[in-house]
């Protein structure tokens, strides 16, 4: 039955940029359920900023496909969640609207860039949320906030209406407190859309199963090596042991191309960001430029004033890697590395069903503890390989260190999203029993 959901959260975590005090809902699979939407997904009539001053006040005239589907399923869209500006970051600390706090420990970062969605779910403000993930932006905050986050196989969820900063990598995915709710939300949004030319008509209609007897689980040595906190590694090894107790077979494996994953991802991501963000020029999008100045001066002043430090840094680096004389040395090589990494995973999956490892190399840290940009980029070392390989991946909570959550990451073959959801569900059911 159609109605209106009143939504007035005590948002002490700064999880939302925009809230809808009265959110209409209808009939359907998600009737009356409050769902939060990351602020890089277009919502008709609701401000969409990508957490950037350059888009402040922008109200899209249309809904993203996933938002259309949510409305059609009766969900109540209660607000737009905070994020790193244009999805550029791993802390939700680069937002023009202030940083988001981690509900587990407000003195810690929630991860990023979908930190607002993760915080809204972890704080109990909403049961479900949508995020987007280019190199770990759903999985990172899910791990840091102790919830479940899923990046689907590219092509299963339409990206129509997503304001992506890296078009070839970014995917929309569900976030919730349980694997069952993630699966439920995915069953609504994973529907074919001809407006996204990258889509494959593979709708998700699956009820999670806890039967994983005989499942072959690969344990890559690279996921437990340099840079990974030994306490995190130990928690994940214990979690993998639970899968073995449930009947899965553990198999050592190596993904040698992982050493190139982070530099390849960084080059591709920044190159595409430079190209995508060129539209924010004061003519097509953004505040109007000063027409009394030369185009170059007006463009420089506008972007210098309205884009944050991290966005400007990535645009400049991406512009360099695409410029004459450099594109072949950087961007082309990064694409070649991406293909090699995908082949490494394909070879591994010839003998395996899923691959398991930590989601993040550390637990959530305090704002300001990690300030070096390269150190922040290295936080994505365990999540970007799945993005480059184009495979589905999920993060599920698997324990705590000093009361801070640790995430278990499960990755699967392309279009076998159901299999890793089953494995995550089996683990969750066992540890919660």
Question: Buried b / exposed e across 154-192, counting CB within 10 Å, b at 16+?
Answer: bbbbbbbbbbbbbebbbbbbbbbbbbbbbbbbbbbbbbe
Mind giving me the DSSP string for 151-204? EPPTTSS--TTB--SSTTT-EEEEEESSHHHHHHHHHHH----TTSTT--S---
The rounded average pLDDT for each run of 10 residues, N- to C-terminus, in the chain (433 residues) is: 88 96 96 98 98 96 98 98 98 98 98 98 98 98 98 98 95 98 98 97 98 98 95 98 98 96 97 94 84 83 93 95 90 96 97 98 96 93 98 98 98 98 98 86
Chain centroid offset of residue 399 CA? 21
Per the CB < 8 A criterion, the answer to whether 138 and 175 are in contact is yes
Q: Name 133's bridge partners.
A: 171
Per the CB < 8 A criterion, the answer to whether 31 and 76 are in contact is no
Quick one: CA torsion of 323, 326, 332, 334, rounded to 10 degrees?
-100
Rounded-to-integer distance, Cα 399 and Cα 234, Å = 10
Mind giving me the DSSP string for 275-306? HHGGG-SSSSSSSPP-TTS-HHHHHHHHHHHH
Per the CB < 8 A criterion, the answer to whether 373 and 91 are in contact is no
Rounded-to-integer distance, Cα 28 and Cα 47, Å = 25
H or E stretch at 317:
helix 309-322
- Read off the pLDDT of residues 231-252 as tens digits, 9 standing for 90 and up: 999 999 999 999 999 999 999 9
H or E stretch at 58:
none
Rounded-to-integer distance, Cα 256 and Cα 12, Å = 43
Please report the pLDDT score of residue 1 as a whole number: 63
For the chain, report the end-to-end CA distance as a whole number of angstroms: 35
- Read off the pLDDT of residues 270-291 as tens digits, 9 standing for 90 and up: 999 999 999 998 888 888 887 7
Per the CB < 8 A criterion, the answer to whether 15 and 100 are in contact is yes
Per the CB < 8 A criterion, the answer to whether 105 and 115 are in contact is no
Which residues are CB-contacts of 83 (< 8 A; sequence separation ≥ 6)?
38, 39, 40, 50, 51, 92, 95, 112, 113, 114, 115, 116, 117
Pairing, β 128-133 against β 171-176: antiparallel
Domains of the chain: 13-433 (3.90.1300.10)
Sign of CA dihedral 231, 378, 134, 119: positive
Please report the pLDDT score of residue 288 as a whole number: 86
Rounded-to-integer distance, Cα 7 and Cα 321, Å = 45
Does this model's pTM top 0.85? My answer is yes
For residue 262, give the nearest of 233, 222, 316 by alpha carbon: 222
């Amino acid at each position: 039955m159609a109605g209106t959901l009143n939504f007035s959260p005590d948002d002490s975590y700064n999880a939302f940029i925009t809230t809808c005090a009265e959110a209409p809902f209808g009939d359907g699979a998600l009737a009356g359920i409050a769902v939060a939407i990351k602020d890089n997904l277009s919502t008709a009539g609701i401000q969409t900023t990508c957490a950037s001053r350059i888009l402040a006040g922008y109200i899209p005239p249309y809904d993203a496909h996933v938002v259309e589907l949510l409305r059609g399923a009766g969900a109540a869209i209660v607000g737009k969640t905070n994020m790193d500006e244009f999805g550029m970051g791993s802390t939700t600390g680069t937002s023009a609207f202030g940083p988001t706090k981690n509900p587990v420990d407000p003195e810690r970062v929630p991860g990023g860039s979908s930190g607002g969605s993760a915080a809204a779910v972890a704080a109990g403000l909403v049961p479900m949320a949508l995020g987007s993930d280019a190199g770990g932006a759903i999985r990172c905050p899910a791990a840091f906030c102790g919830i479940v986050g899923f990046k689907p196989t590219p092509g299963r969820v339409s990206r129509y209406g997503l304001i992506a900063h890296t078009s070839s990598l970014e995917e929309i995915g569900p976030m919730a407190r349980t694997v069952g709710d993630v699966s439920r939300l995915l069953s609504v949004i994973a529907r074919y859309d001809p407006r996204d030319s990258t889509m494959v008509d593979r709708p998700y209609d699956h009820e999670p199963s806890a039967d994983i007897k005989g499942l072959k689980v690969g344990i890559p040595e690279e996921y437990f090596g340099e840079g990974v906190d030994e306490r995190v590694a130990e928690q994940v090894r214990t979690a993998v042991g639970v899968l073995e107790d449930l009947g899965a077979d553990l198999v050592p494996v190596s993904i040698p191309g992982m050493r190139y994953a982070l530099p390849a991802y960084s080059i591709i991501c920044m190159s595409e960001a430079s190209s995508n963000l060129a539209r924010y020029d004061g003519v097509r999008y953004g505040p109007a430029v000063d027409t009394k100045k030369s185009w170059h001066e007006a463009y420089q002043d506008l972007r210098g004033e309205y884009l944050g430090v991290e966005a400007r840094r990535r645009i400049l680096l991406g512009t360099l890697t695409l410029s004459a004389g450099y594109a072949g040395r950087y961007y082309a090589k990064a694409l070649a590395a991406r293909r090699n990494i995908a082949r490494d995973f394909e070879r591994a999956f010839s003998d395996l069903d899923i691959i398991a490892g930590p989601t993040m190399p550390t637990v959530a840290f305090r704002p300001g503890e990690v300030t070096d940009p390269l150190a922040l980029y290295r936080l994505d070392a365990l999540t970007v390989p799945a993005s480059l390989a184009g495979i589905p991946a999920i993060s599920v909570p698997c324990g705590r260190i000093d009361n801070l959550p640790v995430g278990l990451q499960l990755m699967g073959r392309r279009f076998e999203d159901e299999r890793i959801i089953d494995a995550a569900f089996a683990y969750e059911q066992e540890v919660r029993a």
